Chain A
């Protein structure tokens, strides 16, 4: 059954053999980063001092080769899922596309400035949700008038106020799910050329997941490209039609979601 569906898909793409507009070009990228405080080296003050005097490199700094030669091109209107086991380099790849990590080799070219949305990206915890919405929007480059205009829809979308007036409380009082929802709502309020989502969808409840899925589809229609990192294969299936499988920093497979996710679940590497 799945193969038949795949054949029709292939036919459809074969018919649609026209030049597409690329939004993200990843060209043979290697990412190596230094980790401070790694290893079990002696952490005493005297050993640190003797290292400074002898100008030796700290043993606590270790290099991690997180991405090894990945290449792909994503086009306008695509939603691309990234899958792979923990520590396979998915999040590193996203951070590099967002321009937050330097590439050791190769180049990443993007249309506009990609925006990374991750669960770890805390906004200002000691400020109220209200302030966070306003500041987040202003930081993304909206004018104060635009912020006033969109403020209510952002709060409504996040659903923070469904159980009482939470938006006027500091963000540190929010549960992790609520925080992630508000952050997603802020980032999704603006049309991004490239939106990178790092497991942010897994945190919300059912209703919010439905809303965010709808919003991602809208963003794609507004000529954007969406990348989604998730361990929830169903979320990938429902949101993305293309999936890239990464393992040990290498690209294992790049193709239609149905096929890639099916083989990923079986552990059937090509």
Chain B
């Protein structure tokens, strides 16, 4: 039994390394601390290298979303249509908003689709890390891939809705024009804004799962305040100017107004839609107002949210596997 009381030390460094402490040995061979967060430029590079993963993940998820439904992918079109139908019934017919806003159906659908893009990106972002812990613990990849992929899913969903939207807009009697090209930059800025918010919420959601219970309420408040289904301009006009300016910075309003303007610039024409009342006392459609510097606001929200969100998410990169 003498051999057993004298076990070989298999850990000890041999030869020229003999006598080094573990730390010295690690330094000598350039070992790095396990799970250490990469530097920001390194992180961006890693993320860029996974771009095909991000897009493949987004596509796979989008396809899988409706696999259990019998109508399958048709729901991608049906869901936004039904949403619009519900809002039209409640806010258009019952609450009679359709007379005060020019081209109300198109106006409503744009609002619903654009707001839903932000709403669902934020909601999906909140759960993106906590719902994919299995994947995170199994494989190593930059974790920001997940919230970004979930935002791309929502963008794909929006683009499908956009096809529906074009049909609705045309049926509403609006003729396509050059301003339709403005949809592209507006959506780019909104996508950046959404990605940033999704990244922020992903980090918060990974630590505090309670937040995903709270999000629907916050988002719903945001929706009602932003005037998605009814025009809020008649309330805003009575506010002090400082509050009006602050309100005009509401990112949801900024992106909705831009897309509305791009699709139907005529609705913003005061001569066409002077408002007021007709002889029978019915309210007449009133032209929409596009705030000054709206492109500046859209770009600022997009860039600032994206940069802050990205850095904020990266700061906790090494912690997401812990759950």
Chain B residue at minimum C-beta to C-beta distance from A143: B52
Q: Would you give the shortest CB distance from A28 to chain B, in whole angstroms?
A: 8
Contact of A19 with B16 in the complex, beta carbons under 8 Å: yes
Contact of A135 with B60 at beta-carbon distance under 8 Å, contacts A7-B3, A126-B67, A255-B10 already known: yes
**Can you list, as one digit per residue, whether each of B174-191 has a CB less than 8 Å from chain A (1) or not (0)?**
000000000000000000
B residues within 8 A CB of A144? 52, 56
Q: Is A170 an interface residue (CB 8 A)?
A: yes
Contact of A127 with B64 in the complex, beta carbons under 8 Å: yes
Contact of A19 with B13 in the complex, beta carbons under 8 Å: yes
Contact of A122 with B134 in the complex, beta carbons under 8 Å: yes
Contact of B25 with A253 in the complex, beta carbons under 8 Å: no
Contact of B35 with A73 in the complex, beta carbons under 8 Å: no
Central interface residue in B11, B34, B319, by most chain A CB within 10 Å: B34
**Can you list, as one digit per residue, whether each of B235-254 has a CB less than 8 Å from chain A (1) or not (0)?**
00000000000000000000
Interface residues in A111-140 (C-beta closer than 8 Å to B): 111, 113-118, 120-124, 126-127, 131, 134-136, 138-140
Report Cα–Cα, A143/B32, bound state, in Å.
Answer: 25
Q: Would you give the shortest CB distance from B134 to chain A, in whole angstroms?
A: 4
Number of residues from B at the complex interface, CB < 8 A: 50
Interface residues in B115-148 (C-beta closer than 8 Å to A): 132, 134-135, 137-141, 145
Interface residues in B1-59 (C-beta closer than 8 Å to A): 3-5, 7-17, 21-23, 25-26, 29-36, 49-50, 52-53, 56-57
Report Cα–Cα, A19/B30, bound state, in Å.
Answer: 15
Contact of A126 with B15 at beta-carbon distance under 8 Å, contacts A97-B34, A143-B52, A242-B10 already known: no
Q: Is B293 an interface residue (CB 8 A)?
A: no
Contact of A138 with B34 in the complex, beta carbons under 8 Å: no
Interface bin, chain A: 35 or more
Chain B residue at minimum C-beta to C-beta distance from A27: B22
Report Cα–Cα, A113/B142, bound state, in Å.
Answer: 12
A interface, over-half SS:
mixed
Contact of B34 with A114 in the complex, beta carbons under 8 Å: yes
Q: Is B318 an interface residue (CB 8 A)?
A: yes
Contact of B135 with A124 in the complex, beta carbons under 8 Å: yes
A residues within 8 A CB of B67? 126, 170
Contact of A19 with B139 at beta-carbon distance under 8 Å, contacts A6-B3, A73-B11 already known: no
Q: Would you give the shortest CB distance from A6 to chain B, in whole angstroms?
A: 6
Partner of B8, one of A13, A114, A115, A121: A13
B residues within 8 A CB of A235? none
A residues within 8 A CB of B4? 259, 263, 270
Report Cα–Cα, A24/B17, bound state, in Å.
Answer: 15
Chain B residue at minimum C-beta to C-beta distance from A115: B140
A residues within 8 A CB of B135? 121-124, 139
Q: Would you give the shortest CB distance from B148 to chain A, in whole angstroms?
A: 13
B residues within 8 A CB of A122? 134-135, 138
Q: Is A43 an interface residue (CB 8 A)?
A: no
**Can you list, as one digit per residue, whether each of A33-52 has a CB less than 8 Å from chain B (1) or not (0)?**
00000000000000000000
Report Cα–Cα, A226/B23, bound state, in Å.
Answer: 21
Q: Is B322 an interface residue (CB 8 A)?
A: yes
Q: Is A21 an interface residue (CB 8 A)?
A: yes
Contact of A140 with B140 in the complex, beta carbons under 8 Å: yes
Question: Which of A82-90, A99-107, A212-220 participates in binding chain B?
Answer: A99-107
Contact of A187 with B52 at beta-carbon distance under 8 Å, contacts A19-B13, A99-B36, A242-B10 already known: no
A residues within 8 A CB of B8? 10, 13, 255-256
Report Cα–Cα, A96/B318, bound state, in Å.
Answer: 12
Chain B interface residues toward A at CB < 8 A? 3-5, 7-17, 21-23, 25-26, 29-36, 49-50, 52-53, 56-57, 60-61, 64, 67, 132, 134-135, 137-141, 145, 318-319, 321-322
Chain A interface residues toward B at CB < 8 A? 3, 6-7, 10, 13, 17-28, 71-74, 95-102, 107-111, 113-118, 120-124, 126-127, 131, 134-136, 138-141, 143-144, 170, 183, 187, 242, 253-256, 259, 263, 270
- Beyond the given pairs A19-B17, A20-B15, A99-B36, 15 more chain A to chain B contacts, judged by CB atoms under 8 angstroms and listed by A's residue number, are A17-B15, A28-B22, A73-B13, A108-B34, A109-B26, A109-B32, A111-B30, A116-B137, A121-B137, A124-B64, A124-B132, A138-B53, A139-B50, A255-B7, A270-B4
